[in-house]
């Protein structure tokens, strides 16, 4: 059975239900003969395998920023709830087409202000002072801008004032219609939507004080490698600072994720197995870096293979991409495990391209890899067909892409130098300066500035 056909792939379907089941055992299985997998195929396989597994809670809007909506949200109130003025001016009943030069009205006493409507019916031939956002008085359908009106007649014998319009107004001008933003019952936001600042404003306008949101996805994180030391620790020159963990922990710093730090794990099969077991027990998904390539000290693969023997599923996905390549995909007790390469640049790129969309889907959002924009390349690059390449680039002062000086997978400095990745297609050959390139800004890849 594929994970997608058990009826839980729709984020709205799981809303309010018991905690969703975990993934099917075979969801990361590759058909026989699949070797180096193109990135798009790996993404399609991930999309087919994953479904939301985070439960649902109801939060006040003030606490819901950045979370993922669990059910469609229908407007409880129309917005606006009545016709109202879009400008400061004078409201009146338009005499009709062809009569728009009739521009001299008796001024009705009083005014309509926001929160203080004018309660009577406005007789034909009269105009009423009205302020932006005030309810349109009964009988009026049009507002003329105050800059286009002149008052006169002040202090005449009857004490009456008149208002004259300098410019003709179209019937219905400067009137906001009730429900033009939302009618009662309209779906204001769909399940799976991120509660951005603007989405929260929209829900509030829809008369909704709280929202059903997905619980935070719990993600366990650890690094593997006997060579690793903590930042600042006095180590031998052959030892390597664990830079992946703070970087990945920060990448997991989204409001819809709760990261659980499992620290550093030595290159011992039992230690990696114990970390996987504990991670799967305490979290919805597990992310590890290092040890995924299948070498003799690559115990992620071995541990996942052992769990495969015990009934879990494990697969080493060799992905035709640079940087990156082998990524371990597995299930430990039904929890997805993402084994990232140890090289910091490869770990960073594989996280952004595969793991972040996967986590967002598990958390109840859409599986939506970042969409690139086209930018002109300012450099030549000897791309070889047959693998996808992601280059560290930035947009230069002339608006063209500049490339970092090296493709070295350990050069973290290039991740700081760059503001995004150039995404060179699987089949593409050499790139020439002046040609357009797909550019993924780090912001589009989900990294907040
Ligand atoms: P591995 O994927 O374990 O074979 O590691 C590949 C390279 O990445 C090696 O040079 C490791 O020392 C380095 N590496 C592995 N894990 C980390 C980490 N957490 N932080 C920084 N470098 C790492
Ligand atoms: Mg290693």
pLDDT at 16 over 60: no
**Could you please report the per-residue DSSP string of 123-184?**
PTTEEEEE-TTPBPPBT--EEEEGGGEEEE-TT-TT---EEEESS---TTTTEEPTTSSB-T
223 CA → ligand 1 middle, Å: 9
Q: Which ligand is nearest to the CA of 342?
A: 1
Higher pLDDT, 11 or 199: 199
Best residue for ligand 1 mutational test, from 272, 339, 343, 413 (most atoms within 8 Å of Cβ): 343
What pLDDT score does 7 carry? 35
User: Average pLDDT in the 278-284 region?
Assistant: 96
396 CA → ligand 1 middle, Å: 31
What pLDDT score does 299 carry? 84
Which numbered atom of ligand 1 lies nearest the CA of 291? 3
Categorize the per-residue pLDDT at 30 as very low, low, confident or very high, splitting at 50, 70 and 90.
Answer: low
**Could you please report the per-residue DSSP string of 175-233?**
EEPTTSSB-TT-EEE-TT-B--HHHHHHHHHTT-SEEEEEPPEEEEEEEE-TTEE-TT-
Poorest-confidence range of 159-163, 260-264, 347-351, 410-414?
A: 159-163
Higher pLDDT, 51 or 329: 51
Higher pLDDT, 269 or 211: 211
63 CA → ligand 1 middle, Å: 38
Which numbered atom of ligand 1 lies nearest the CA of 267? 3
Q: Give the range with max mean pLDDT: 30-44, 102-116, 289-303, 361-375.
A: 361-375
The most distant pair of C-alpha atoms in the chain lies apart, rounded to whole Å, by 104
Which numbered atom of ligand 1 lies nearest the CA of 295? 4
Which numbered atom of ligand 1 lies nearest the CA of 292? 2
Give every CB contact of residue 415 below 8 A, 6+ residues apart in sequence: 344, 345, 348, 392
191 CA → ligand 2 middle, Å: 40
Q: Which ligand is nearest to the CA of 221?
A: 1
What pLDDT score does 340 carry? 95
Residues 365-403 pLDDT 10s: 999 999 999 999 999 999 999 999 999 999 999 999 999
Categorize the per-residue pLDDT at 102 as very low, low, confident or very high, splitting at 50, 70 and 90.
Answer: low
What pLDDT score does 315 carry? 74
pLDDT at 24 over 90: no
Binding pocket residue ranges, ligand 1, CB within 6 Å: 223, 225, 227-228, 240, 242-245, 289-293, 341-344
Residues around ion ligand 2, judged by CB within 5 A, are 225, 290-291, 342
What pLDDT score does 156 carry? 55
List residues bridging with 56 in a β-sheet.
214
Look up the pTM and report it: 0.88
Round to whole Å and give the CA distance between 360 and 194.
10
236 CA → ligand 2 middle, Å: 17
pLDDT at 22 over 80: no
Residues of the chain with pLDDT > 90, as a percent, come to 73
Half-sphere exposure of 178 (CA within 13 A, CB side): 9
Higher pLDDT, 155 or 271: 271
What pLDDT score does 358 carry? 97
Residues 181-234 pLDDT 10s: 999 999 999 999 999 999 999 999 999 999 999 999 999 999 999 999 999 999
Mean pLDDT, the chain, rounded, equals: 89
357-390 residues labelled b (16+ CB within 10 A) or e (exposed):
bbbbbbbbbbbebbebeebebbbebebeeebbbb
344 CA → ligand 1 middle, Å: 7
Poorest-confidence range of 6-10, 159-163, 248-252, 287-291?
A: 6-10
Best residue for ligand 1 mutational test, from 243, 342, 345, 413 (most atoms within 8 Å of Cβ): 342
Residues 430-445 pLDDT 10s: 999 999 999 999 999 9
Residues of the chain with pLDDT > 70, as a percent, come to 90
Best residue for ligand 1 mutational test, from 223, 242, 289, 300 (most atoms within 8 Å of Cβ): 289
């Amino acid at each position: 059975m594929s994970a997608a056909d058990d009826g839980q792939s729709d984020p709205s379907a799981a809303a309010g239900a018991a905690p969703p089941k975990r993934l099917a055992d075979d969801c990361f299985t590759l058909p026989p003969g699949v070797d180096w997998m193109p990135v798009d195929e790996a993404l399609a396989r991930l999309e087919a395998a994953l479904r939301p597994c985070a439960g649902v809670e109801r939060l006040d809007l003030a606490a819901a920023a950045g979370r993922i909506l669990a059910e469609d949200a229908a407007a409880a109130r129309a917005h606006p709830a009545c016709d109202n003025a879009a400008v400061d001016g004078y409201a009146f009943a338009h005499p009709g087409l062809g009569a728009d030069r009739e521009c001299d009205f008796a001024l009705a006493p009083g005014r309509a202000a926001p929160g203080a409507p004018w309660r009577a019916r406005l007789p034909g031939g009269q105009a009423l002072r009205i302020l932006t956002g005030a309810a349109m008085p009964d009988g009026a359908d049009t507002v003329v801008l105050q800059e286009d009106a002149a008052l006169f007649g002040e202090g005449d014998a009857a004490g009456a004032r008149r208002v004259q319009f300098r410019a003709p107004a179209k019937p219905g001008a400067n009137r906001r219609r009730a429900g033009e933003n939302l009618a009662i019952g309209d779906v204001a936001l769909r399940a799976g939507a991120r509660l951005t600042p603007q989405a929260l404003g929209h829900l509030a306008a829809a008369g909704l004080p709280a929202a059903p949101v997905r619980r935070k996805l719990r993600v366990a994180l650890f690094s593997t490698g006997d060579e690793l030391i903590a930042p600042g620790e006095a180590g031998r020159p052959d030892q390597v600072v664990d830079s992946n963990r703070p970087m990945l922990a920060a990448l997991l710093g989204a409001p819809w994720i709760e990261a659980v730090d499992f620290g550093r794990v030595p290159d011992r099969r039992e230690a990696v197995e114990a970390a996987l077991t504990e991670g799967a027990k305490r979290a919805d998904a597990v992310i590890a870096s290092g040890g995924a390539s299948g070498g003799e000290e690559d115990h992620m693969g071995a541990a996942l293979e052992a769990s495969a023997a015990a009934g879990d599923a494990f697969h080493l996905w060799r992905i035709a991409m640079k940087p990156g390549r082998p990524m371990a995909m597995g299930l430990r007790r039904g929890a997805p495990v993402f084994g990232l390469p140890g090289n910091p640049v490869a770990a960073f790129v594989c996280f952004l391209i595969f793991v972040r969309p996967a986590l967002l889907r598990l958390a109840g959002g859409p599986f939506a890899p970042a969409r690139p924009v086209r930018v002109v390349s300012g450099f030549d690059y000897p791309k070889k067909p047959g693998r996808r390449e992601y280059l560290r680039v930035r947009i230069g002062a002339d608006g063209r892409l500049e490339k970092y000086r090296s493709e070295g997978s350990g050069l973290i400095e290039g991740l700081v130098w760059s503001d995004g990745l150039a995404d060179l297609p699987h089949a593409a050959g050499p790139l020439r300066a002046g040609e357009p390139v797909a550019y993924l800004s780090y912001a589009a890849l989900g990294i907040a500035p």
